[in-house]
């Protein structure tokens, strides 16, 4: 839907024009001065807010702020001189000497303070600028417009048309989408990637629309774009992740200065609710896959039970006091680079160990729980991420164990004899074929286990994020740099 751009409101060809608002102490101060000028050579007064302000001396209500927007009013009061239909000068704020020189009228505002700065114009209020841009200059957006009937409810319409994940979404008005696009330097029509399962090329603008719907702030958009790019790689295999009957969905782990800059949580309740960035970045990714790629539950999304995490899951690594280098660095990026890592994971599994005070003991606890992931007899097919809490991390840090040392110590603990893994062993029919009975087998493939440091300061609890099928038949974790 497009609409004609409103005509520019006309100002007098000759004379003085003042733009003021009641909610401005300086404008209130200069009301007597405006009265003097009205009685003199003539003055047209435009009021941004209260139509009764200056009505006793003659004023016009700039109700839709069209005068203020079209004439670039940034500060009130602004006094403009026009000659022959052209602006020939303007001053802002109140200075008796400047106003007298500008107007040629002596003795303005006797008894008033000689100088007061002005206030911000409503037309440049950050909460209004995008709406005014859309209203007066039209929109540069390419997305089709949806017209709602007068009695239609925006929220209910989104539910009815299948645009939501089951929770309310923020209506993506043109102003909100334009504001979201300010969060990136990338062009709105740039193709970000091809989104499965429908293999649709999506643009930065389309991702921004879904980021608005998810509740993101503009500064989150670069992270959302990186997550979308990572999810749609062959390595991550988003199509396969949708089609599986397993529990998993994309987990977005953020590293680098951007995590703190946009206010992501890496501490208390890091995997839970309460932080806007954590809650909405992963949700935006899921809405892109749903609304643009066609990945809807009951269709291509075949999750047998699913998990609450499939609404969207993102968090930041707690890098400052970690015993390890950041996950992004472990995966090949330089320190200090903003990055996202996507992992096909399901909900967290608790690790409870409140008595271990040595890294050796704690490592055995973690290994024992990792061996049970999925099934104690299933090996190599699943990756896992251990989310190590600060209290458990302190045990490694104080002992001087880095990531390499932890991996060197835990890997032998994750090897089991084939006799315990074959079908029927331990009275459990699940297991490996009998041919594996003589082999010693690792729980994880090389690189299939990762550690991330996150969580609050109190509590000797960590967690495991279990993965989906790994490798060519499933999903590989992928780490990409965040572009501005």
Q: How far apart are CA 318 and CA 259, in angstroms?
A: 9
pLDDT at position 3: 43
pLDDT per residue as tens digits for the range 81-112: 999 999 999 999 999 999 999 999 999 999 99
pLDDT at position 41: 66
Bridge partner list, 163: none
pLDDT band at 140 (very low <50, low <70, confident <90, very high): confident
pLDDT band at 42 (very low <50, low <70, confident <90, very high): confident
**Quick one: how far is CA 323 from the chain centroid?**
28
Residues 6+ apart with CB under 8 A from 291: 163, 210, 213
Whether the CB-CB separation of 461 and 389 falls below 8 Å is answered with yes
Name the more confident of 159 and 137.
159
Q: Is the pLDDT of residue 364 over 60?
A: yes
Whether the CB-CB separation of 122 and 49 falls below 8 Å is answered with yes
For tokens 């060519």, the residue is: 472
Q: How far apart are CA 11 and CA 223, in angstroms?
A: 46
What domains are there in the chain, each with its CATH number? 15-125 (3.40.30.10), 156-481 (no CATH)
pLDDT at position 133: 82
pLDDT band at 6 (very low <50, low <70, confident <90, very high): low
Q: What's the average model confidence in pLDDT over 460-468?
A: 96
For tokens 């160990």, the residue is: 353
pTM of the predicted model as reported, rounded to 2 decimal places:
0.82
């Amino acid at each position: 839907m497009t609409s004609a751009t409103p005509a520019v409101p006309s100002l007098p060809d000759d004379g003085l024009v003042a733009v003021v608002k009641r909610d401005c102490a300086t404008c209130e101060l200069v009301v007597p001065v405006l009265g003097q000028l009205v009685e003199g050579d003539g003055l047209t007064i435009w009021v941004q807010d209260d139509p009764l302000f200056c009505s006793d001396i003659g004023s016009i209500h700039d109700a839709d702020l069209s005068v203020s927007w079209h004439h670039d009013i940034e500060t009130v009061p602004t006094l403009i001189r026009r000659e022959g239909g052209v602006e020939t000068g303007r001053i802002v704020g109140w200075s008796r000497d400047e106003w007298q020189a500008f107007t040629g009228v002596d003795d303005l505002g006797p008894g008033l303070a000689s100088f007061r700065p002005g206030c911000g114009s409503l037309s440049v209020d950050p909460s209004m600028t995008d709406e005014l841009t859309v209203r007066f200059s039209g929109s540069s957006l390419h997305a089709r417009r949806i017209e709602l009937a007068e009695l239609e409810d925006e929220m209910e319409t989104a539910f009815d048309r299948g645009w939501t994940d089951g929770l309310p979404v923020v209506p993506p008005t043109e102003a909100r989408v334009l504001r979201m696009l300010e969060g990136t330097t990338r062009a709105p029509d740039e193709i970000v990637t091809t989104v499965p399962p429908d293999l649709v090329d999506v643009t930065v603008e389309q991702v921004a629309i879904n980021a608005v719907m998810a509740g993101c702030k503009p500064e989150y958009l670069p992270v959302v774009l990186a997550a979308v790019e990572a999810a749609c790689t062959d390595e991550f295999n988003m199509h396969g992740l949708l089609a599986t009957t397993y529990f998993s969905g994309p987990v977005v782990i953020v590293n680098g200065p951007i995590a703190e800059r946009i206010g992501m949580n890496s501490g208390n309740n890091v995997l839970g609710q309460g932080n806007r960035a954590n809650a909405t970045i992963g949700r935006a990714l899921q809405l892109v896959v749903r609304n643009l790629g066609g990945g809807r539950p009951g269709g291509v999304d075949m999750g047998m039970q699913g998990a609450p995490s499939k609404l969207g899951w993102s968090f930041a690594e707690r890098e400052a006091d970690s015993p390890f280098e950041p996950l992004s660095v472990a995966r090949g990026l330089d320190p200090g680079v903003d990055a996202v890592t996507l992992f096909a994971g399901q909900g967290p599994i608790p690790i409870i160990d409140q008595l271990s005070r040595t890294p050796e003991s704690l490592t055995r606890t973690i290994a024992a729980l990792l061996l049970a992931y999925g099934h104690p007899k299933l090996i190599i097919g699943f990756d896992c991420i251990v989310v190590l809490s600060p209290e458990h991390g302190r045990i490694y840090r104080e002992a001087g164990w880095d990531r390499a040392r932890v991996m060197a110590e835990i890997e032998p603990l994750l090897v089991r004899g084939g006799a315990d893994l074959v079908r029927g062993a331990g009275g459990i029919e699940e297991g490996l074929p009998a041919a594996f009975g003589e082999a010693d087998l690792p729980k994880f493939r090389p690189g299939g286990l990762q550690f991330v440091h996150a969580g609050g300061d109190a509590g000797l609890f960590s967690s495991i994020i279990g993965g989906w099928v790994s490798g060519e038949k499933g999903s590989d974790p992928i780490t990409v740099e965040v572009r501005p």
